[in-house]
C-alpha cells in the first residue's frame, strides 16, 4: 500500500481540524519537516532492506563507494556478492596491498569508511552487489512515497500532531498525542521483527513443568505445592 507525503500531510490536517477550528493553522513546511523527523525516529526499529551494486575495473581492488553509490544511506552491509558469488567478510586488519591480489579468485571483502576492498584478482565489468539495510528515504515532494509499511502511519501522524501542539504551546494535548505515538511505535517495533528472528526468539512453554522427585535418599520434591493453593 503506497502512500505519499501529500496524502500523509492531508490526513494530519484532517485530524488537527477535528481537534478545533485553529488546528489546521500549521504550515506545510513545518508538517513535512516533522514527518521526516518521525521517519528518522522510526528508522531505528524499521530499517529498509535493499540491494545496491556497482561494476568493477580490471585489477582494481579498492573502490571509493561515494563514487559508485550513495554510501551515506548505508547503515549495515549484510552480504556482498561478486559476480553472483557470495564473499567472506575480512577484518580491515587484513587489508595489505601485498595480500589483496594473492588469490586467483575474488574471495573476500572489507570496508573502512567509504573505502571498499576486494580480495583476489578482479576482472573487468563484474557486478558487486551489496545487500544492505538503510534508513527510509526522506520525502520532499508531495508525490514522494513514504518508505514505511502502512501500519506505521498512525505513529507518523501522532508524532507530527504532538509536535504541532508543542509548537503552539498546548502541552497537555501534545503529551496525549505523544503517548499515543509511543504506543503506535511499540506496535511498529513488534511487527517489524523479521520472521527469521521471530522464529528463533525464546518462548515460554504453556504447560507446567512437573516437580522433580529425588530418586535416592530422602523423598522430597522441588515443588511441594504446584497449584499454589494456601495450605
pLDDT digits (tens, 9 = 90+) for 118-152: 999 999 999 999 999 888 889 999 999 999 889 99
- Domain identity same for 181 and 103: no
Specify the range with the lowest mean pLDDT, choosing from 58-62, 74-78, 101-105, 196-200.
196-200
> Do 39 and 56 fall into the same domain?
no
Clarify whether residues 63 and 110 are in a common domain. yes
Residue 216 predicted with pLDDT over 60: no
* One domain, residues 66 and 37: no
**Residue 49 CB burial class (10 angstroms; 0-12, 13-18, ≥19):** exposed
Average pLDDT, the chain: 83
Q: Is residue 142 part of a domain?
A: yes
How many other β-carbons are positioned within 10 Å of the β-carbon of residue 147?
19
Instruction: Using pLDDT thresholds of 50, 70 and 90, give the confidence band for residue 23.
Output: low
Any bridge partners for residue 51, and if so which? 131
pTM: predicted TM-score of the whole model, two decimal places: 0.67
Q: How far is CA 212 from CA 218, 219, 221, 229, in A?
A: 13, 10, 5, 19
The pLDDT of residue 24 is 62
User: What share of the chain has pLDDT > 70, as a percent?
Assistant: 79
pLDDT at 194: 59
Q: What per-residue confidence (pLDDT) applies to 95?
A: 78
Residue 120 domain-assigned (yes or no): yes
Domain count along the chain = 2
What order of strands is seen across the sheet that includes strand 62-64? 62-64, 115-119, 108-112, 88-89
Residue 220 CB-density burial (10 A; 0-12 exposed, 13-18 middle, 19+ buried): exposed
C-alpha 149/C-alpha 160 separation (Å) is 17
Q: Is residue 199 part of a domain?
A: no
Using CA atoms, how far residue 200 sits from 77, 130, 146, 203, 209, in Å, is: 22, 25, 30, 9, 22
For residue 229, being part of any structural domain is answered with no
Tell me whether residue 163 is in a domain: yes
Using the 3D structure, point to which of 117, 134, 151 is the last residue of a domain: 134
The range of the structural domain enclosing residue 148 comes to: 5-46+137-191
Pick the range with the lowest mean pLDDT from 33-37, 78-82, 197-201, 223-227.
Answer: 197-201
pLDDT score at 213? 57
Dist CA 1 CA 189 (whole Å): 19
Tens digits of per-residue pLDDT, 166-215? Answer: 998 989 999 999 999 999 999 998 887 655 544 454 555 555 555 555 55
What is the SS3 assignment for the chain?
CCCEHHHHHHHHHHHHHHHCCCCCCCCHHHHHHHHHHHHHHHCCCCCEEEEEEEECCCCCCEEEHHHHCCHHHEEEEEEEEECCEECEECCHHHCCCCCCCCCCCCCEEEEECCEEEEECCCCCCCEEEEEEEECCCCCCCCCCECCCCHHHHHHHHHHHHHHHHHHCCCHHHHHHHHHHHHHHHHHHHHHCCCHHHHHHCCCCCCCCCCCCECCCCCCCECCCCCCCCCC
pLDDT class for 222, splitting at 50, 70, 90?
low
Lowest model confidence (mean pLDDT) among 58-67, 98-107, 165-174, 200-209: 200-209
Amino acid at each position: 500500500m503506497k502512500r505519499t507525503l501529500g496524502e500523509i500531510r492531508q490526513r494530519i490536517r484532517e485530524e488537527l481540524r477535528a481537534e478545533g477550528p485553529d488546528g489546521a493553522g500549521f504550515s506545510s513546511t513545518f508538517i513535512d519537516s516533522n514527518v521526516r523527523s518521525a521517519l528518522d525516529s522510526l528508522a531505528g526499529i524499521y530499517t529498509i532492506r535493499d540491494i545496491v551494486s556497482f561494476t568493477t575495473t580490471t585489477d582494481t581492488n579498492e573502490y571509493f563507494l561515494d563514487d559508485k553509490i550513495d554510501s551515506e544511506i548505508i547503515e549495515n552491509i549484510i552480504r556482498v556478492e561478486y559476480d553472483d558469488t557470495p564473499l567472506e567478510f575480512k577484518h580491515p586488519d587484513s587489508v595489505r596491498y601485498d595480500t589483496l591480489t594473492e588469490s586467483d579468485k575474488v574471495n573476500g571483502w572489507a570496508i573502512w569508511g567509504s573505502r571498499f576492498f576486494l580480495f583476489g584478482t578482479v576482472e573487468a565489468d563484474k557486478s558487486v552487489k551489496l545487500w544492505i539495510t538503510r534508513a527510509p528515504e526522506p520525502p520532499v515532494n508531495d508525490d514522494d512515497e513514504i518508505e514505511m509499511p502502512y501500519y506505521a502511519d498512525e505513529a507518523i501522524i501522532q508524532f507530527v500532531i504532538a509536535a504541532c501542539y508543542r509548537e503552539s504551546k498546548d502541552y497537555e494535548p501534545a503529551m496525549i498525542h505523544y503517548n499515543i505515538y509511543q504506543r503506535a511505535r511499540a506496535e511498529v517495533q513488534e511487527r517489524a521483527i523479521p520472521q527469521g528472528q521471530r522464529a528463533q526468539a525464546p518462548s515460554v512453554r504453556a504447560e507446567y513443568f512437573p516437580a522433580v522427585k529425588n530418586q535416592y535418599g530422602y523423598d522430597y520434591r522441588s515443588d511441594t505445592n504446584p497449584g499454589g493453593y494456601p495450605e
